[in-house]
Structure 1
């Protein structure tokens, strides 16, 4: 199932065209409306501290992308970018579902009991919605200032098995962070360009803080298709109601964008 899921993600990239990979590709200049859609792959590792259940111990997590892929059930990433004259809009959606199996004594919240096994199924949904204004615009260089929100929802389901006995328990939590940021685009040649973006948020309204940064190199095939590759980091520090989600996701991104 995990291998099949990985193949499906890569196939999606090849057929439609990398995680907040919105703004990855080269941008259209000119006036009027412009849109682009980017399904993408983010080969991210995960590190940090997580307390998925109230009254449960905080767990230290340090997983490479291959570790994450081993536990992956499904991953989907898509970004939508729009512009009208100097007004810009973006929406980046990320959903990841994993199942982590634990043997005897490896699950601190349950403890070491002979014959005990447990599965933790985790689903994370993140949506970053932003709007802004292009403060500088010429044929080869643009600067956008952006503001908006980042929505988080994390769901955890624990299934414990002992002999023929099985019991399940689930919790979910979520929050909304305000964010502010920028996006820059620089065209080197008609086909090659570079792009960078970053945002900062939280400010105690949802999480203590959250920030992300993304830099890519982009190559344009024609008026509608471009490919991008780069690196992205997404960080958040949330601690509320007995839940802790203090994590950093980072790794290379790659995507194929369709513009219209």
Structure 2
């Protein structure tokens, strides 16, 4: 009788069963294990590949000096003067040699948060400040201006996003706001024909003081970043703002070149040189209350970049 399955195996003597097992192993060995390899699924890899790490934040702080020159017109309590002063003129007369600047960036992949602060205290004398016309409602005549003192702070906040990259060249769009704070004191020669009104008179001088003036401008722009070589980067930025919200109009252009100096304990230090130009046309009030600042500030910048 022929039996199949476990009935046949269970009926075999232990010695005959051992012979069957040995015979089966020999057959498999002779075929190179092809049957077993085809039937047994491949083993899973012992080590799984880790997913790519998400972009992390990096930070950069750049303290600057801005060697400013001024070219434009300012009006303090209705008295307008023309300003034309080079950096050398400002150094001779001012309390500060340069406008002090600080720039901070936080970057994560294509996204960047930015802030910039400028403070300056500028004093100008007769050779660089000339009287112009009086505002409506102000009577009398004034001689040549004696001087102008301006204390000023500018703060920018915004964000940039990289929208295109072509090898070493990256293009960002920029948006944000620029805050201005100013105090201006104008000193003028006094003649007998002047109706002093709201002027403060001391000896032969009359002083017009603006008090604190501030405003906020929206800003939009773009910038280009070009990696010239490892550790060397060229930056070009331009923006426009105001649009009648704060000032009537403003614009800015910056060109800077950064070159790596070295790395210490994970912090990279770079030198920065460049040029910055900033123009604004702002006005408020009428007559003796009028304040106007229609001015271009421009000059070289020099600083130290600290990146971590």
Normalised by the length of structure 1, the TM-score is 0.76
Deviations 1:161-193 (A, max 9, x none): 318x99884522111110001122111211322
Corresponding residue for residue 142 of structure 2: 111
Instruction: Mark the structure with the bigger radius of gyration.
Output: 2
**Aligned residue number for residue 230 of structure 1:** 274
Kept after mapping to 2: 8 A contact 1:119/1:160: no
Unaligned runs of 5+ in 1: 1-29
Q: 1:208 to 1:134 in 2, by over 3 A?
A: same
Q: Higher strand fraction: Structure 1 or Structure 2? A: 1
Residue in structure 1 matched with residue 156 of structure 2 by the alignment: 128
1:132-184 deviations in Å (ceiling 9; x for gaps): 32223577332221111010111124575318x99884522111110001122
Aligned with 1:73: secondary structure?
coil
* Misfit runs of 4+, over 4 Å: 106-110, 117-120, 165-170
**Structure with more helix by fraction:** 2
Task: Tell me the residue number matched to 2:117.
Answer: 93
Q: Provide the alpha-carbon RMSD of the alignment.
A: 2.8
Q: Which has the higher contact order (CA 8 A, sep 6+)?
A: 1
Q: Which of 267, 271, 283 is residue 239 of structure 1 equivalent to? A: 283
The structure 1 residue matched to 2:82, chosen from 44, 57, 60, is: 60
The within-5 A match list for 1:143-154 is 143-154=171-182
Cα distance in 1 for partners of 2:74, 2:207 equals 22
Q: Mark the CA change 1:177 to 1:170 in structure 2 (over 3 Å): closer, same or farther.
A: closer
Q: Equivalent residues in 2 for 1:62-211 (5 A)?
A: 62-74=84-96, 75-101=99-125, 111-112=142-143, 120-137=148-165, 140-157=168-185, 160-162=201-203, 169-211=209-251
Q: Count residues in correspondence.
A: 223
**Which whole-Å CA distance do the structure 1 matches of 2:92 and 2:294 have between them?**
22
Contact 1:160 1:168 in 2 (8 A): no
Output the CA distance in 1 between the equivalents of 2:59 and 2:203: 53
**Aligned-partner Cα distance in 1 for 2:68–2:123:** 17
Q: Find the counterpart in structure 2 of residue 214 from structure 1.
A: 254
TM-score w.r.t. the length of structure 2 is 0.65
